[in-house]
Amino acid sequence: MEQQERVQALLELSQTQKERLSHIDFRLMFLGVMQRSDLIQRFGMKEAAATRDIALYRKLAEENITYKTKERSYFYNPKFIPLFEYSPERALAALSSGFGDDYAGVHSNAMIPCDTPTQLNRTQLKTLSILTRAIYQHQVVKLKYYSLSSGGSVREIVPFALVDNGLRWHIRAYDRKQSRFTDFVINRMENPEIIDSWIDDNEIKEADIQWNRIVELEIIPHPTLKHPETIAMDYCMQDNNKNKQLNINVRAAVAGYLLRRWNIDCSENHSLKGNEYHLWLKNYQALYGVENLIIAPGYQEQ
């Protein structure tokens, strides 16, 4: 089937059909093999329905799939071209935790052997659920919050987004006590409750300058490295005037987290020493006005 015909055929399918075909496509691409039982187990469908889906997939992408009678399985074909697009992040999440978002339980259902760093600070689900309901329904939350500087205090916050800084989850919110937008660590919250309260225009996401400002970061291998091409490969850097460079657009509100997580040297003259510094922020001037830079390695306000 020609590409244009394939695209049109996919557009005419229901969402549930696309999900089942995507499951076939994903298993072939990343595992190299799939069986009817994989569809039956994943979607709770009948054998005849699974057979029809496989036949439809073969019609849409006949060069992707080969059936071997002896193994009674379908295999990856070397001419394989994905029927669907996958981001590396979602592909890795599916491989390490299971395909799809409908798995109910506390144990992961990894598709291949996978080990990830132990999470020391597991997010409290009850607290998380209250916060996400407040975000989704645009409501105010009252809680007791524990900070390193002032200990425990009662706050009213207007949350509008979840933030993952690589080590723990935060909530981005307007803090009525301090009259400013800031981040709150979820596990430092106690007894959160949604309250009935009017939200002013200066308390909503659109008023958060740091959240809405986008900063472009130009990141290159640290100039002190003996073999910078190795790091360029690590981060899939692209050519820029014969040099390898990674350009990233990030919210000003979370720029500090990214710079700290990846140990990016933010000093003007790439002066930080140590084997942990593989990257240098070439355009450190882009950080002017960004607020959470106390955690950015080597950055000094000019």
At residue 267 the predicted structure's pLDDT band, cuts being 50, 70 and 90, is very high
The burial of 23, by beta-carbon neighbours within 10 Å (0-12 exposed, 13-18 middle, 19 or more buried), is given as buried
- Per-residue pLDDT reduced to its tens digit, 268-292: 999 999 999 999 999 999 999 999 8
- What is the model's pLDDT at position 99? 64
Per-residue pLDDT for 163 more than 60?
A: yes
Q: What is the mean pLDDT of the chain?
A: 91
Domain annotation for the chain: domains and CATH numbers: 3-97 (1.10.10.10), 125-205 (2.30.30), 213-295 (no CATH)
Query: Which is higher by pLDDT, 99 or 35?
Result: 35
- What is the model's pLDDT at position 107? 56
Residue 82 near residue 23 (C-beta atoms within 8 A): no
- What is the model's pLDDT at position 5? 81
Query: Which is higher by pLDDT, 12 or 301?
Result: 12
Q: Strands of 33-34's sheet, edge to edge?
A: 33-34, 73-76, 65-68
At residue 178 the predicted structure's pLDDT band, cuts being 50, 70 and 90, is very high
The pair of structure tokens assigned to 265 is: 């040297």
Per-residue pLDDT for 19 more than 80?
A: yes
The structure's pTM equals: 0.82
Lowest mean pLDDT of 7-21, 86-100, 125-139, name the range. 86-100
H-type alpha helices, the chain: 3-11, 15-30, 36-43, 47-60, 88-97, 125-137, 209-212, 228-234, 252-261
- What is the model's pLDDT at position 33? 94
Buried b (16+ CB within 10 A) or exposed e, 181-200: bbbbbbbbbeebeeeeeeee
**Beta strand pairing call for 214-221 and 33-34:** unpaired
At residue 100 the predicted structure's pLDDT band, cuts being 50, 70 and 90, is low
